Amino acid sequence: MSDQIPQHAPSWPGSEAGMPAPPGWPAPAPRAHRASRRGVALLVAGILAVSAAVGLWAGTSFGSPGTATSAASGTAGVPASPDAGIVDITNFARPIGQSSDNLVPAGAGTGMVLTSTGEVLTNNHVVRGAWKLEAQVPGGATYTATVVGVDPSHDVALLQLSDASDLATIVPGDASSVAIGDEVAGIGNALGRGGAPAVANGSVTALGRSITASDPNGTSEQLTGMIQTDADIQPGDSGGALVNAQGQVVGMITAGSDRTASTGGPTIGFAVPIDTALSVVDQIQSGNGSDTVLIGERGYLGVAVKAMDPTTAARLGVSSGALVVAFDSGSPAEAAGMTAPAAIRSIDGQPVPSIDDLGPLLHSHVPGDSVTVEWVDASGSHSASMTLISGPAV
C-alpha cells in the first residue's frame, strides 16, 4: 500500500526549517494542515527545480510521553549521550540567476557521523540543491561538507567533513531485528534550531512501508521498505537517528506527518532502515556508481523547472514535458537559445514525459558531457547540443 504525502513550499524556503527570511524574500504564506514531506525549497542539481526537503523534529522524551526534553539530558531507554554522532546540517542555496557568492540558507537537517574522520550519513533531500553545505557538532565545531555520493532512490547521501578528526560516531543497530511494538526514539535537529538534539519517543507501528512523496512543482519520489513510527517526527530531523531502546541506530529519519491541535490525527513518521542506508554507503565508498548511486558532481543545465500545467501546455502546443520557467545567466540552456517558458521534450533522444523524468536523464552525466536537448518554446521546436557544467548537489 502506498501513502501519498503532499507537500507545501512557502514563499521563503527556509521558514519551515525555523529560519528567518533574509532581506528581499516575501513573508511565508499561511500554513494549512496537511500530511507532508515538509520543508524547504531547494535547487535540484541539473534542473534547478524547487524541491521539498523533509524537515522533521522530535519533540517529546523517550519513555516519558508528552514531556519535551533535549537529548543531552538522557531519559529512560536512551543512553546518557544519545546525541553522540549527531550533527546539524545547513543547506545553502543560490537563487536562480544570482552570483555564486550570493548564497542563502535554504534548509536545515540532521546527519549521523559514521567515522571519526567525518564521513556523515544523511538524506539526499537534505543536501539536494546545495551550493554549499555546513555541518555543526552540537555545541562544537562547524565544518564545510562535500557530497561524496547520493542515491535519490533510497534518499541517502554520504558527506565528507573537511579537516575533521576525533569525532564521536553513531552505533548502528540491526534493522532486521526491529519488530512492531518496539520502543524507539527519533533524534535530530529540532526545527533547525541547533544545539542539543531533541528526542521524540514512540514505537514502531509498521514495517516495510512504501510511500510516495511529491512536491509543489509536481516531482515525486517513491521510497520502499520504510520503518513506520508514531514518534512525533517534525521539521529538522531529516537524516537523524531512529534509535532502539539500547540507543542503537536502526533507521534514518526521512518523512513525517503534519499534525495540528485543531485537526488532531495520528503522528506518523518514516525511516530508512539503517541496513539499507549503510549498504548504499558501502557502494559509494567503493566508488562503484550505478543508475541509482551517483558519485561526485553531476551535469547541470542551469534551468528552473516545474510540472507542466495545462495552460502553458496549450500555449506551447504540447501535452507533456518538463516546464522551464527560468535560467541561470550564461547557462548551457540559455546559451543554446532556449527561452522561457519552454517544454523540454527529450534528452539524447530519450523522452521527457514529465519533470520526474528529466533529473535521472541528466544525473547520468558529469560536467563536460554534451547532451542533445529537444524543446518547444514560443518560437517553435528546437534541438541543440549543450555541454553540461558544474552545479549544486542532486
pLDDT tens per residue, range 257-292: 655 444 556 678 899 999 999 999 999 999 988 888
pLDDT band at 219 (very low <50, low <70, confident <90, very high): low
What is the predicted pLDDT for the residue at 264?
57
Q: Which three cell numbers stand for residue 57?
A: 523534529
Give the count of beta carbons closer than 10 Å to the beta carbon of residue 277.
29
| Mean pLDDT, residues 156-178 | 95
Lowest model confidence (mean pLDDT) among 43-52, 68-77, 194-203, 278-287: 43-52
Rounded to two decimals, the pTM is 0.75
- Which structural domains are found in the chain, ordered by start? 2-18+34-286 (2.40.10.120), 297-387 (2.30.42.10)
> Which residues, 6+ apart, have CB-to-CB distance to 15 below 8 Å?
21, 28
Under 8 Å between Cβ of 259 and 240: no
Cis peptide before 341 (omega within 30 of 0): yes
Q: In the annotation, is 125 catalytic? A: yes
What is the predicted pLDDT for the residue at 100?
65
Percentage of residues of the chain with pLDDT beyond 90: 48
Comparing CA positions, the residue from 86, 106, 84 lying closest to residue 22 is: 106
More confident residue, 173 or 25: 173
More confident residue, 327 or 100: 327
Residue type, 329: S
Per residue in 40-57, pLDDT (tens digit) is 222 222 222 222 222 222
**Phi, psi angles (nearest 5°) of residue 87:** -130, 150
Q: Choose the catalytic residue: 36, 51, 153, 238.
A: 238
Burial 208-244 (b: 16+ CB within 10 A, else e): ebebebbbbbbbbbebeebbbbbbbbbbbbbbbbbbb
Residue type, 180: I
Per residue in 103-130, pLDDT (tens digit) is 888 888 999 999 999 999 999 989 988 8
More confident residue, 57 or 85: 85
Under 8 Å between Cβ of 157 and 149: yes
Under 8 Å between Cβ of 136 and 194: yes
| Mean pLDDT, residues 75-99 | 71
Per residue in 315-364, pLDDT (tens digit) is 999 999 999 998 888 889 999 999 999 999 999 999 999 988 898 898 88
More confident residue, 74 or 92: 92
More confident residue, 185 or 31: 185
Give the count of beta carbons closer than 10 Å to the beta carbon of residue 305.
29
Q: Which three cell numbers stand for residue 90?
A: 545547513
Q: In the annotation, is 238 catalytic? A: yes
What is the predicted pLDDT for the residue at 82?
60
Q: Choose the catalytic residue: 61, 88, 125, 220.
A: 125
pLDDT band at 87 (very low <50, low <70, confident <90, very high): very high
Percentage of residues of the chain with pLDDT beyond 70: 73
pLDDT band at 213 (very low <50, low <70, confident <90, very high): low
What is the predicted pLDDT for the residue at 220?
64
Mean pLDDT, the chain, integer: 77
Under 8 Å between Cβ of 328 and 96: yes
DSSP states along 347-379: ETTEE--SHHHHHHHHHT--TT-EEEEEEEETT
**112 sits in which H/E element:** strand 104-113
More confident residue, 220 or 335: 335
**334 sits in which H/E element:** helix 332-335
What is the predicted pLDDT for the residue at 5?
36
What is the predicted pLDDT for the residue at 214?
54
pLDDT band at 295 (very low <50, low <70, confident <90, very high): very high
Q: Choose the catalytic residue: 155, 230, 237, 258.
A: 155
